[in-house]
Structure 1
């Protein structure tokens, strides 16, 4: 019987199942009889966080940041000569101080008593850095995102801390360091918890609120989370051989055999890559091409190559579900599917697709109020629900 352990929170994530994890685990426990648990669309990797100490977890998501979060939950442990948050921050501070001198003409003082016009002048000056040529390597966020979700000073810190993370690539805390930086970005960003578009200061009230976040310290939030996480880390290697991949879901299913698939695909027409492109860029750190529209850089400064999920496209969603079910059937795996009656297609359509792919299997639905319905060719009526789990046991 799988149960929810305590695990750290790293990112603000839409659609995260952390708040209904016990409900999700009830569904998994109903069908899981052994083998790996594959989280096919792992997102913020909360499932790996919840059960990674009890069973082998294969976390998969086409976004690279998800792979990092999964590894932070399942592959990290204390090792000799592990750095303290002070060590990391001090090394980053030297980088910020040195690099900041080359940007001394760019204002980043948000503590003065200034009006909206002054704030806009400062922000516009920072946003113009996207056209600047830099003479130091770690400048991606300073160039791309200054004056957007973060100030130029905050971006200097993000870049410097990202550089320090790289010094520990290949160690058991590399992914934890990156995850803690994602946390610091989330809680210093002046946005609404994601990175679709940053807020504009249109009134004195909105300016006052934005300034709260402009004055937050990236380094302090990073250190706070890092110190919190390592306090609870084990000094032993994980006893399960977990896996974390960044495959398309169809590709991932080709590698599975048996076990249980937990599938939580996107429900609506908006693409997660639009909301979380900034942390994807943090992980890849590849200076991507930025989307241009009508000859101008889009306000959200999205990656040109951001992923478009077929589950978010009305002409592709049915085929995507069929491919998902067929892949699970071919793998001989159990299936737990999270979906909603407010999704891209109706619950009835999902039932029919499942019955076509799993004609000889018992299909069960669990609702958020934990009432059950068993489906067959003569299936019961179902009612409006916000969230439900479809269960298929092989």
Structure 2
């Protein structure tokens, strides 16, 4: 039976969002109270599964409410959630930033010694033609043989693209430092701080679908702002902030990087699921491939101008031919496992709300299905014609009677 419940009974008004880490398309940070109030209105102490965790902000905000199962098929998302939710004894890691800095600085010295013939300087008064040539010469490092040099992935793959050679050397250096702590609970914080530095030093628009070219003097000057930034202060400030945010706790939160159906099969029956699938044709694996490569650090095969990973996840929620079946599978397993489901969707989604509710009605037994809407301004993160748009964010509740 479909009902139209509007008034949500909220058990707590406390909203404590975690520190932001990356610029994330579709982030619920601006809608946090709306979403958290919705989840809390149907929560009765059971495990909460954040099925498409993304930036990890929902699970982090609910970390004191319940045990969280954070899932996303992208591995960088698991790192973000672990940063927010892992128990960390700050006293154990006193002075660690100095150790990380030392390891990174030693790597920078090593790679610059081994690549001493390469000098890429954005001098004062640089002309457009000089700038273009400087960018191309860095991009050509993709063909350079780095045999014998460890941790050179970003220097080889991305110099002169989203980041400069200098920035890429430091990205590789901090990634090497992170590996020294790969088995420690502090590891996700190091990677997350590095993702933050990458996001705020990149000359792209907040994601990595494509880097910008300097076709005229004005675009060159804009790109130069980012080319002259330094990775190090961004990393250090965010790492310190994340370490101060962390705490010791006894909740056994769970972290997985699974397909949504695999995750739903594994979570306990009767859990509460918050699902925030992609709303349109945009595949997050294209927009955030650089973060995935940072985490995996696997020197992948890459393609196209954006230098995307050849192996990238393609979500059925982004495909017109598969989206209805994806929702059917979601609602069917919800019913089979007696889960509670709170679904985030939009009036600009691949299919309309009425169709979503129709699929839910046909795929569940003995469930109430209702929704709540909120108008807000959504950032398109860099589109030239519509940098923001007014949309309706919709929470669809699918809960046992």
Q: TM over 0.5: same fold?
A: yes
CA distance in 2, matches of 1:125, 1:216: 19
Question: What pairs up with 1:164-179 in 2 under 5 angstroms?
Answer: 164-179=177-192
CA distance in 1, matches of 2:229, 2:55: 24
User: What is the distance in 1 between the residues matched to 2:36 and 2:93?
Assistant: 37
**Structure 1 pair 339–6 and aligned structure 2 pair: CA distance change class (3 A):** closer
Structure 1 residues 183, 127: CA separation in 2 closer, same or farther (over 3 Å shift)?
Answer: same
1:281 to 264, 276, 293: 293
Aligned residue among 93, 107, 131 for 2:105: 93
**1:324 aligned onto 2:330:** yes
Structure 1 Cα separation of the partners of residues 270 and 365 of structure 2: 18
Shift of 1:345: 0.7
Structure 2's unaligned 5+ residue stretches are: 1-10, 377-389
The alignment's TM-score, normalised by the length of structure 2, stands at 0.90
CA drift of 1:54 comes to 2.7
Task: Check if 1:203 corresponds to 2:216.
Answer: yes
Unaligned runs of 5+ in 1: 292-297, 371-383
Q: Secondary structure at the match of 1:393?
A: strand
Task: Tell whether 2:75 aligns with 1:69.
Answer: no
Q: For 1:99, what is the secondary structure of its paired residue?
A: helix
Once the two structures are superposed, the pairs formed by residues 120-139 of structure 1 within 5 Å of their partners are: 120-134=132-146, 135-139=148-152
| Number of residue pairs aligned between Structure 1 and Structure 2 | 373
Counterpart check, 1:157 vs 2:170: yes
Contact kept, 8 Å, 1:367 with 1:385, in 2: the verdict is no
8 Å Cα contact 2:375/2:392 also seen in 1? no
Matched, 1:45 2:56: yes
CA RMSD of aligned residues (A): 1.6
Deviation of residue 22 (structure 1)?
A: 0.6
Deviates more, 1:341-350 or 1:72-81: 72-81
Q: Using a 3 Å threshold, how does the CA distance of structure 1 residues 140 and 385 change in structure 2: closer, same or farther? A: closer
Match of 1:252 in 2: 263
Superposition map of 1:222-371 within 5 A: 222-234=235-247, 236=248, 238-256=249-267, 257-291=269-303, 298-368=304-374
Q: For 1:155-181, what per-residue CA distance to the aligned partner results, in whole angstroms no more than 9, with x for missing partners?
A: 010001001011111212110111000
Asked if structure 2 preserves the Cα contact closer than 8 Å seen for 1:76 and 1:176, the reply is no
> 2-side partners of 1:244 and 1:169: how far apart?
16
1:188 aligned residue:
201
CA contact (8 A) 2:18 2:61 kept: yes
8 Å contact kept, 1:31–1:335: no
Q: TM-score, normalised by structure 1?
A: 0.92
Q: Determine the C-alpha separation between the residues in 2 that align with 1:386 and 1:183.
A: 29
Q: 1:31 to 1:54 in 2, by over 3 A?
A: closer
